[in-house]
Structure 1
């Protein structure tokens, strides 16, 4: 792009410079005219008569003036050229300056945009932090647990409203104080807190006054870069523990009630037989003809006495079984051979289980199949015997009720080992369970209806289920079809 400088690139500067130069030249000319040197020069322009040769003087003056004007023009041209060059440089500088200003303005705009974005992000972060802090504070304030925060010097840094309510001390009164100075009745020791602080691990301490209150005290160690201390959570679990204890007591009472009802039914069967036999004997004894008694009723009397004796043996075996169970109840688990416990229980069941309709467990065919080289299992022998007795009693009851044509009672017991468990399957082909009975068979039974069948309640297996799942850490289930029979599945963990 060509550049055409103006005649006077900077008129104010050039005119002032030319005016000053003209004044200087004119002053020099006047000084020259006034000086003695000029007078001596004018003598050259005089003739012999002393008259001035004005024509020559005028020509000289005009030449001198032209020379001076030429010098002035040259000077002005040089000055103009210098001014043009300077003006061009100034224009370039101005152009560069404007470009820099534009660039700087653009950079400032970009910087301002970034700064505004950072400020907006900072504001958003600040709002989030404030919201988070408010949220955390709301959580701490609404916690039902007593929360106490301590620094490494055991001075209180947090004291939530639950702590204020329990202790009666306001947070502004205890913040910064030593824990035991602010809360002297707390059941923690400095050694316990120091152990948690040094190890950096969590710890739960249970504190209780039996029958009055129960507390779970949880200690959390803080190991952040900026904060080192401990958080103490005190949870008043009195209601929960009392409720749990009550539920445990109810479960125990239900189990004991089930056992008591079962034993009562077991004992009631031989006692009824004894009572019937004695009634028959008494009726024979009241006969008016002793000879007739001897002749016609001797066999009946003998049968009654045999039935009474056998029933008394049943009752005695039941009582002994109950006494043995009570003696060994609550004992520790022992490594036992499960098939041996089963065999002993089958032998015991033959002595104590019978039905009022005359069906005796010892008269029921039983097939026992045991896998070889079974591992030992940790069991409570007395409880496990009662579990198997309950299942056998249920099987005998179901077999005694069966009225299918061509029915032949049968009990099958399979004992196998699979991975880390021993599985016992006890199957009978008597009357099966309805879907509702399958759901309720492991639930406790409370006989509130006096007209209801007592037998239905005593066939529940809640104690067996509780013993297997809770005391033996195993599993117990049932599968049944009302027209085919029932199978009980018992799983026991083995000891490797």
Structure 2
């Protein structure tokens, strides 16, 4: 009831208010005063338009101020963008230049590593390959793309570096140098460098083929030896020749006097002593003639060789060297070289070969001396059941002359064969292999391989004997 009363009261109040508001626009009779309405509406409209214009003007001023500020901000931003763009362009250009330099440096280093004449292999601590240069590709036959990331010993098992060597270099942080050589074939210097100031531990393995350098050094050593030996041979021959001739003359004179019976008649009671003294004189004369033969050989060797090789019959040189060996080689309490059975197996119509005769005679004489020592040692051990035999083979094999000197004396061990052709360097600080100086044939090997451009090898068995193989080019 209360709500209905309140609604009716409000409706009545609004009707009264409306009537009071519209009163100025009506006449007394209740008709509308349109002229007044029009004037009032025009005034209100003008006022509203004026207000709108003022608001628009204020808004325009404010917008203009904002636009000016925005222009300033935009100009500032454009300047900053330009500065930043210029800096970025400069940084980009510097980065491009730096990248180009790095690429050029990397390419340069890569070219250096690839062009190195030695094998260069980079390894991490696990033995995996991180770098593989061109020489390593040539030696192993494996390309770098296929090698990098793989285990070294799985693709290059012939390398003498072992995982223990890698571990040793990494632990000691010092380079490790190894020498690997096959006499007569190749010589390798291997160095393991540990990487320093690097994130991951690793090593660089360098395998340098020093065969030519070693051969050149051996050539210099042998040339020095030749010069020294020539001077020494000349001095020794001249110093020994005169007193030796005097001794031989005295021996012959004493022997003639003894044979003439001036000192002791041959039919006297001391005939046994006479024969014994005669035997001693004969033995002394034989030894003197052997020394004289050695002196002749020394003088012949000291005269040197011609600069150019000259054609010669190798069989004649071999026979002459055999004669020299029969005259010069002898050991106390051993069978003389002249008692050694010599079997000759020479082909017919063997062509002449270009050679240096004197040096080749020294080679054969060195081989006969080496064989004689082995034969004498075995003859002493075996006794009368052993027949020392020396077999000589000469024949033509295509464009080369094949020479073999074989004996049935004591053979060579594997270690002796390995060091047989290496020079003997005497040093108190260097541990020498078992093959001593008198068992080496480095001079003979040098003469055959370097002076004659031939080949020389040895095959031996401790029980059967030894064979020396020589090959000389005919052209």
- Under a length normalisation based on structure 2, what TM-score does the superposition of the two structures give? 0.46
The structure with the largest alpha-carbon Rg is: 1
